[in-house]
Structure 1
């Protein structure tokens, strides 16, 4: 399978093309969101697709929406994506698309951390806290926290890093009610998902959620949910405190890029076929282990 690097739908107007997803207008109040097989690393979009990646992201998100319903409503409309495009465009959307409500996005990435790793580990080493949350002294890399913590970031334009902010800053930006709702939902969703994933032999180290506000003023869960792009999934049988465990996400391709000596300023090198296929396998394995869905 070649993979879909970009969509070219003619039957709907393109609204936005992001790092991974292309969004098209469906009337005035809905969007067709298509997850391509693009992959980004170090703020660059690679020139080659990762086969099946878009299907993994979409189908795993839909699985989690069903698994976690009852916490907050989501952005799905239930409309079949194939019904809103021309028949000859079906192959571009099948299995990798949803028709969603058009929401006003809350410009905060809501991160839940159950383990100390990644950017959170670096923050902790610097000042003993993560996004303003003070943590006990003496913690090690990848150590499980006593309780998951909410560590939000302010969303930034494409090509720039999101900026970690405190919960108090969330309150300043959106008010106490919205800030509390998204914080509580983030931690509840994470805990429920982590409990489920543990039964499948997977640790969810951390994950991010995004929320939006509908026309009635309701806060809804949107975008992708608990995918290898938005989460760190670790195989439980390979977890040890003090090291960064292998993961079912883009870390594999990041590690390859790091090994090439690339300067992270010029266009990234093209990964060899074996790296592309291994990355695809990692994404598909996450989908199969968590949702029981086999692709390829």
Structure 2
């Protein structure tokens, strides 16, 4: 969860320790989460700047365009408030007109995709082969967009809905950008023994072109697994907030009321999972 401040020509996005699930902000935070997510986003943006991710998308050879300018506390902010609590938690970014869809890419069958497949054999209109198991790797990653609801829950929709709303050219560009970023990131992560099961990207219009915005490939926007533990046909140990989702699923919360506080044990284990995933990606595990 992030707080956004308008600095005039730019935005300052502050990552808090709050955590959300099923479109609710939970009453319990995850200590250090904001700093960890900011550092992970910076890790991926650096890979984009180097051309390791998304380089195939640029005909000119220049890096994929994104919104991040700096992760340093701006002087204009440091002059009026104590910058210490903000250090390691902020991104100064370009402004953009947000595309009203989340661009979800799935490389493995889990979560809402697994539930949809069990019911209909497809996800967001994408027909999948019969007999796939939970968490099984798909033959090729698939693009399954969802709406960005201002109120209520986001909704998974077929690609045709995105085309109807944005036009074929823009929708196709978003699909190709999302698939390419995912594929490149998955290769980078696999070298560190990490599988990216699925993720979601957000894009916006800036100076007449689509740029990547928001956090990127963090435990709050992606599902990470350890390659050496991967066993299709069952749920995997995740380095993301799936651990929290599973606890909420098992609780008696009805998902239409204020969520319950997380037990101390769940908070501590979630913190451990986040940190382990980050260390594995950086080759520190």
TM over 0.5: yes
Structure 1 residue matching 2:225: 3-state secondary structure: strand
The count of aligned residue pairs is 272
Give 1:77's aligned residue: 69
Match of 2:124 among 121, 126, 131: 131
> Contact (CA 8 Å) 1:82, 1:94: kept in 2 or not?
no
Q: Distance in 1 between matches of 2:136 and 2:4?
A: 38
Q: 2:33 aligned with 1:59, yes or no?
A: no
Q: Does 1:279 align with 2:259?
A: no
Contact 1:80 1:99 in 2 (8 A): yes
| Aligned equivalent of 1:240, options 228, 231, 235 | 231
- 1:178 matches 2:178: no
TM-score, length basis structure 2: 0.90
Instruction: Rate the CA distance shift 1:93–1:199 in 2: closer, same or farther, 3 A.
Output: same
Q: Is the 8 A contact 1:82 1:93 kept in 2?
A: no
- 5+ long unaligned stretches in structure 1: 1-19
Stretches of structure 2 that go unaligned for 5 or more consecutive residues are: 55-63
Q: Distance in 2 between matches of 1:255 and 1:123?
A: 17
Which of 86-95 and 185-194 deviates more? 86-95
User: Deviation digits for residues 7-43 of structure 1, max 9, x if unmatched?
Assistant: xxxxxxxxxxxxx11000111x310000100011232
Q: Which moved more, 1:268-277 or 1:242-251?
A: 268-277
C-alpha spacing 1:200/1:79, structure 2 compared with 1 (3 Å): closer
How has the CA–CA distance of structure 1 residues 126 and 259 changed in structure 2, closer, same or farther, with 3 Å as cutoff?
A: closer
2:67 touches 2:211 (CA, 8 Å); kept in 1? Answer: yes
Preserved CA contact (<8 Å) 1:60 1:291: no
The TM-score with structure 1 as length reference comes to 0.87
Other-structure match for 1:193: 185
CA distance in 2 between counterparts of 1:290 and 1:154 reads: 29
Structure 1's 249 and 135: CA in aligned 2 closer, same or farther, altered over 3 A? Answer: same
Counterpart among 12, 22, 42 of residue 3 in structure 2: 22
- How far apart are the structure 1 equivalents of 2:191 and 2:266? 29
Segments of 4+ moved more than 4 angstroms: none
Tell me how far apart the structure 1 counterparts of residues 71 and 240 of structure 2 sit (CA, whole Å). Answer: 29
Please show how residues 1-296 of structure 1 align to structure 2 within 5 Å: 20-27=1-8, 29-69=9-49, 70=51, 71=54, 72-78=64-70, 80-87=72-79, 88-158=81-151, 160-214=152-206, 216-291=207-282
Displacement after TM superposition at 1:278 (Å): 1.5
Q: RMSD across aligned C-alpha pairs, in angstroms?
A: 1.8
**Quick one: structure 1 residues 223 and 290, their matched pair in 2 at CA, closer, same or farther if it must change by over 3 Å?**
same
Moved more, 92-101 or 265-274: 265-274
Alignment check: 8 A CA contact 1:205 1:231 kept: yes
CA drift of 1:284 comes to 1.4
Q: Conserved in 2, the CA contact under 8 Å of 1:58 and 1:96?
A: yes
